[in-house]
Amino acid sequence: MKKWFLSLMLCFSTATFAEEALTLDWLDLIPEKERNQFNERGMPIIDHNNDQPAQNLVGNIRPELNNSEVKIPGFVIPLEGDANKVTEFLLVPFFGACIHVPPPPPNQIVYVKFDKGAPVQDLWDVVYVVGTLKTQTVSHELAQAGYLLEGLEIQPYDDY
């Protein structure tokens, strides 16, 4: 009886967390005064005139978002896991970010740690990631991320 009750409470608390989470768009991760660095579709303005364009590290994060329960859509770039589950990944605003150079600025990359693992087959299209957002810089060989998200749930993007 206790196991059943505990399972029910865990399911309810995860659902409640997702429902109460602040739904963010990628522009929400950028301080308002810096949003002119992005085009009308919310994509970063990139200079491709260099032989090896580097990640533009200019841009601030929004410290007031620290420890917020959030839901944010994006594309997944797997970093850690196995053939079945991904436990760490970069969440980026557009397809091909970090694979094609240069990567977006750090305030447009979220490093996600998903302890229970996200099923690989769920990550080919844009998804929502729900969890606790931290204003913590994470450096990886692909790019520097301005935020860390402790992921709790993956949802299909078409769920509203």
Note the pLDDT of residue 102: 78
Q: Which residue has 């605003």 as its token pair?
A: 93
Rounded to the nearest 5 degrees, what angle is found at the Cα of 48, between the Cα atoms of 77 and 92?
20
Altogether, the residues listed in the chain come to a count of 160
- Say which residues have a Cβ less than 8 Å from residue 23's Cβ, sequence separation at least 6: 70, 71, 72
Q: What is the pLDDT of residues 83-136, one digit of tens each?
A: 889 999 999 988 766 666 678 889 999 999 999 998 877 677 899 999 999 999
**Cα–Cα–Cα angle for 93, 154, 150, nearest 5°?**
80
- 4: confidence class by pLDDT, cuts 50, 70, 90: very low
Domain count, the chain: 1
- Is the per-residue pLDDT at 1 higher than 60? no
Q: What is the CATH number of the domain that holds 76?
A: 2.40.50.870
Range of the domain at 34: 2-156
Give 9-33 pLDDT, tens digit per residue: 444 444 555 678 999 999 999 998 8
C-alpha to C-alpha distances, 60 to 68, 89, 114, nearest whole angstrom: 17, 21, 25
Collect all residues with Cβ–Cβ distance below 8 Å to 10 and sequence separation of at least 6.
none
pTM of the entire structure? Answer: 0.78
> Which token pair is 70?
């959030």
